[in-house]
Structure 1
Amino acid sequence: MTTSLKLSGLDHSTTTNPMFTLINTTCPYAKWVQTARKLCPDPNKYHCLNDEFGRPGWLCADPIWVEGGRCPEFNTIAKKLDTVSCEGENCPDTVFQSSFVHLYLSCRGEGVEKTTSSNFDLTTEAVPLDSPASIGITVGIIAGVVLIAIAVVALCHLLRRRRQNKKDSEAGLAMLATPEPNDGRSYSRAQRALRTERFVVITGIQGSGKTFLAKRLCNEWFQEEKCIWITDPQHFQILLDFNSVFVLDDLFHELQSEDQVREMKANIDKLYENVVVKRNGKIILTVTSLILRRLVSVFEERKYKNIIDLDELSKEDREDILQFHTKLNKMLDDTSKIDDTSKSQNSSTVIRDTDFQRMIEYNSEGTFDYLVEKRGMGYSAAMALCCMFNTDNQKEFDAKCGRYVKSPVAWLRQDLKEMFNENNIERKREAIALSLLALHGGQFKLSDLNTALMDKLMELENVKHEEEGFLIQAFNNQKRKYVYENDGVYSFQVPVVMKFLFRIICERHTELLEFCEKDLCKRRVCFSSLFPTDIKGDYAKSFVSLSYMKMLEIDDWFSKENLAS
């Protein structure tokens, strides 16, 4: 008589419990988003990570917060997510959510292609179950299977480690188009911050490229998600689709009082609760450096420490910015072969390699005060203005570009003022067109033109009144340098130009302030006695500081609004 003893091998496609599903391959790092959408009703709850035995698996669960220097894992005994100490060179250095485990190389689950032993029968002669022989056979079989299983797992683990290390050393694994952790460029750091925290603060002085970076993130990275721009406090009152990327741009400005800043921040905190905490979307917030530095106590929460500071650019950042503007303006470098074809397709201006490298290496002497007082605008705006001075006169370009790098505000103001002082009537009309654009806040359609403002300006500048057509011609003449046009909407190519031109035209004719929008005046005009002390040097040349009596001469509105603030 014989009896059959059936043993089953481990099947890695089944779950150890209803939540955690073991897999027999590595986690799908190259197709994380697609896999998350396929396996979880809410893709943001998708996890693929190891359990406490080092076995990879996936589950759909609410993420937990993981401290820096630790990695998430699934505890099969407690049936919940837990954390363990991270080992390796690419461990997380900040708090992150467990569902973003794939962004940290040292925390990635390194699954092995485990082999599954097929079911088999061991047939022996029947012996009494309580006999020593029967017990010995059973114990021997179990011990043998256990030893074989341990040997197989150890061998597979060794082979897996070798294979994984080879892959990582050659090319690394795809990270959903997210740059590697050692990529220190502002754009890459902003991407990682939005991946892990869903909230990032982009800060910098005027002209540092805050809005430009936010637009780049929206246009290049959030291709499948819509960006909602909020540039007016009233937009917070509108019923919003929270499952979006919100860009909160230009809500803070340098002349705001502390109470105004706190009120604005309260609106942002409410939006944060609905969007980030409830995992409905992401938020990009731009804030001028002066507000963050002036009111440190207002922005104490941890989320406001997740900062991309454009006042402290890396060398790679500066190189990217300079390359962008040279290509945008179709400039040649001194290694390019200049022939008739290249002249027809590019500017005739050549930027020498020595100048290119000097601009990249340029350092603002490492102090924020120096940046505010001596430069007055960010690196991005200075390089943009430098590269826009395309001219057939190479010596003139070399001289102007070098000066723009060192003292951009001085040379911008000089160039704008020269337009008013020239006897050339065409240049004078261009100055009036640019002034109208600045006095309208830096953007407008001809159909929205304040004709009373235009008439007053032309009268003050002693220029003969023309039909609207002269404005179109004047803007077209300035397209290569200062003006950008899109579907009939005119704006400044470099927004910071508006601020300095606004100051220049108001210095010439203070009475024009009476025609300006009140919100624009709140941002650019202030009582001398209330002017913030941290706005100084060249930075202050983008604001209008007036005495109380002078404001009363212009409009009764100034006294009420500014005294209240």
Structure 2
Amino acid sequence: MFHVINKSCPYEDWMSQASMHCKNPGNFHCVKDEYDRNGWVCAQPIWVEKDRCPVYNIGAKKLDTTGCPQTKCPPYNYRSNDIDVEYACRYKYVRPTTNPPSTFSNVSNDTNNNKNSPELWIILPALLSLLVVGVVIAAIVMLYKCRTKSPQKDAMGLEENKDLLKDKAGAVNMAEEQSKSSKQARKYLDKKNMVAITGVQGSGGSKSPQNDATGLEETNDHLKDKADAVNRVEKQSKSYKQARKYLVKKKMVAITGVQGSGKTFLAKLLVTDLKKNGNDMKSNWISNFSELLQTTQKSKGEFDIYVFDGTFYELQLDEKVKDTMESLKEFADKAKNVYLVFIIPSYIWQKQYRWNEFETWLGEVRVDLDKRSGSEKRNIVTCLMNRYDVPREQADTICKSESDLLNFTSNSIGFPALISWICKQSSEHEVKKLLRNPLQSMSDEVALLKSDLTLEEGGKYLILAYMSLKNGRIDVKDVDKNLFDSLKKKYVPGFVDKDLGKFVERMIGYYLLPDEDYSFVYDSNILKKIVFVSVAKENALFVQMNCKNEYLKYAIPAELCPDDMDTIYTECFTRVEGKK
């Protein structure tokens, strides 16, 4: 039922009002109805397209959307209960205008009082005469001006039209000058002193080059714009602000969370932010114990920011954890005027809690991404649905699962990774299956790719397998031919190397993301682990030879494997017989 309120929507007191009025606070809405009245209603959220606003249709008894009435409208799709949307869709109460007090009675009284006044009978005719004379003079002047200007307008009309067309043509040329196509053409001209420009009629072929590389670049630009939008949302989160505060004040921060919680993503944002504020800052990412030892032995001053991402990992044995921690402490004690970012899996932090080492050392600068607030989670859902261009029907399915999503907790997958994979599912059944066992669902999809004998699907697995052994990255212009050929012989003998770019392009947005130039990375680090394990289980020796450091993170001797690893790290590791 729609409850009309004669005031603005309670944006400053949203949560308390939502809890007061709706059994499920996530269903609380404050919108207008078809009669332009503000009111609240408890209803299942719907997906609202950009440049539109949510409303409640009293006749149909359901939420609906309407065109945004102002110039500043939401530039992205969002959920109907998202109160952080652009202000154009925020509903404020405007008091109905009332008729001003009538003055007719006063005038009437004054007239009656003065109707016998001789002065009034003298003044009124004089005023009327002046008014008539003024109107006549004004009409004569206007007629004269119109006659003198009309020939000039006829003469100037053609020139104005020509100028207008020139201005429009100039604007088109300027826009084309700034387009990706013209930039690409200029790049070829600068490098080769030539450019071949092709295209069908009407394609702008007289200006824009068209080839596979350009297609990849345009796709990359589109996805990078989407990624920038995700970055902007994350920078508004409580987690980011807290981490940045620690880093600025204490010069260090410890980011903890399960896999897929966004630890590395947050670290990258922090580093980018520091580099923007500090002109020539250099960063060093340290991913294993060997690199850590080399860093502790080097003289200080080479880098301004150190990120330790991978020095701790779930399969790390207790003694190795202690050695790594001691080395980090030693480095931190020696390092002066540098920023330190430590990335630690929740499992390792909690496992070492009984010794209180982490808490004593880094407890005051810890940001736990497993404890994101409800508003942060909602923003993640909205942002990722936009990033993956989720269709409306599919988005409605996700919105219906909002309660399950917000209450979802897991020791094996973080909230951002979960939502990212859910956005790629096409049916409600697949979403529910994913919520029951996320990593098993992802592993099943990888297994299907691996077992598929078609070139299309097998080629995807080949590329993913190669990337999993190359730190999750592929450069289509610089491929390790020996490794790629070995994998190709094993999985897809019929794969044609020259088609690599086309295969990669088709995988962008689902399996892959653009990184730099012709380089691409996994869209999900968890997926990289699952693919790595699928290759390692089949040929452990081959993987050890080609990727020793990574192998130790995902393979563990059976006799040393902790009992709870099947729950914490399911599908992302493999047991091997015999101590390695």
TM-score by length of 1: 0.54
Q: Which residue is 1:546 aligned to?
A: 576
Paired residues for 1:290-329 under 5 Å:
290-296=347-353, 297=355, 298-329=357-388
CA shift at 1:188, angstroms?
A: 2.1
Task: Rate the CA distance shift 1:449–1:547 in 2: closer, same or farther, 3 A.
Answer: farther
Give yes or no for the alignment of 1:435 onto 2:465: yes
- Which of 173, 177, 192 is the equivalent residue of 2:245? 192
Q: Which residue is 1:350 aligned to?
A: 395
Give yes or no for the alignment of 1:206 onto 2:259: yes
Give me the identity figure in percent.
19
Q: Which residue is 2:15 aligned to?
A: none
User: Structure 2: how far apart are the matches of 1:311 and 1:416?
Assistant: 26
Farther-moved stretch of structure 1 (283-292 vs 355-364): 355-364
Task: Rate the CA distance shift 1:521–1:447 in 2: closer, same or farther, 3 A.
Answer: farther
Give yes or no for the alignment of 1:513 onto 2:543: yes
Opposite residue 346 of structure 2, the aligned amino acid is: S
SS of alignment partner, residue 556 of structure 2: strand
Paired residues for 1:331-480 under 5 Å:
331=390, 349-352=394-397, 354-355=399-400, 357-358=402-403, 360-364=405-409, 371-372=410-411, 376-389=412-425, 396-446=426-476, 449-461=479-491, 463-480=492-509
Q: Which residue is 2:522 aligned to?
A: 492
1:149-178 CA distance string (max 9 Å, x none): xxxxxxxxxxxxxxxxxxxxxxxxxxxxxx
Paired residues for 1:39-438 under 5 Å:
185-220=238-273, 223-225=276-278, 226=281, 228-231=283-286, 232-233=291-292, 234-241=294-301, 244-275=304-335, 278=336, 280-296=337-353, 297=355, 298-331=357-390, 349-352=394-397, 354-355=399-400, 357-358=402-403, 360-364=405-409, 371-372=410-411, 376-389=412-425, 396-438=426-468
Q: Is the CA contact (8 Å cut-off) linking 1:210 and 1:310 kept in structure 2?
A: yes
Task: Rate the CA distance shift 1:476–1:529 in 2: closer, same or farther, 3 A.
Answer: same
Q: Is the CA contact (8 Å cut-off) linking 1:527 and 1:546 kept in structure 2?
A: yes
The runs of 5 or more residues in structure 1 that have no matched partner are 1-182, 335-348, 365-370, 390-395, 549-558
Q: Is the CA contact (8 Å cut-off) linking 1:218 and 1:227 kept in structure 2?
A: no
SS of alignment partner, residue 493 of structure 2: coil
CA shift at 1:498, angstroms?
A: 0.6
CA shift at 1:260, angstroms?
A: 2.5
SS of alignment partner, residue 565 of structure 2: coil
CA shift at 1:465, angstroms?
A: 4.3
SS of alignment partner, residue 253 of structure 1: coil
User: Structure 1: how far apart are the matches of 2:532 and 2:472?
Assistant: 9
SS of alignment partner, residue 256 of structure 2: strand
Q: Is the CA contact (8 Å cut-off) linking 2:439 and 2:570 kept in structure 1?
A: no
SS of alignment partner, residue 541 of structure 1: coil
- Which of 537, 558, 567 is the equivalent residue of 1:528? 558
User: Structure 2: how far apart are the matches of 1:269 and 1:493?
Assistant: 33
User: Structure 2: how far apart are the matches of 1:292 and 1:534?
Assistant: 15
SS of alignment partner, residue 287 of structure 1: strand
Q: Is the CA contact (8 Å cut-off) linking 2:488 and 2:495 kept in structure 1?
A: no
Task: Rate the CA distance shift 1:434–1:362 in 2: closer, same or farther, 3 A.
Answer: same
SS of alignment partner, residue 301 of structure 1: helix
CA shift at 1:409, angstroms?
A: 0.6
- Which of 470, 477, 481 is the equivalent residue of 2:510? 481
User: Structure 1: how far apart are the matches of 2:303 and 2:471?
Assistant: 31
The runs of 5 or more residues in structure 2 that have no matched partner are 1-235
Q: Is the CA contact (8 Å cut-off) linking 1:229 and 1:249 kept in structure 2?
A: no
Task: Rate the CA distance shift 1:507–1:363 in 2: closer, same or farther, 3 A.
Answer: same
Task: Rate the CA distance shift 1:350–1:265 in 2: closer, same or farther, 3 A.
Answer: same
CA shift at 1:408, angstroms?
A: 1.3
1:399-458 CA distance string (max 9 Å, x none): 323433342111111111111223432111111111111122312435664434333333
Task: Rate the CA distance shift 1:307–1:273 in 2: closer, same or farther, 3 A.
Answer: same
CA shift at 1:295, angstroms?
A: 2.0
TM-score by length of 2: 0.53
CA shift at 1:353, angstroms?
A: 6.8
SS of alignment partner, residue 441 of structure 1: coil
Q: Is the CA contact (8 Å cut-off) linking 1:185 and 1:316 kept in structure 2?
A: no
Q: Is the CA contact (8 Å cut-off) linking 1:227 and 1:247 kept in structure 2?
A: no
CA shift at 1:529, angstroms?
A: 0.8
Considering fraction of residues, name the structure with more helix: 2
Farther-moved stretch of structure 1 (444-453 vs 528-537): 444-453
Query: What is the alpha-carbon root mean square deviation over aligned residues?
Result: 2.8
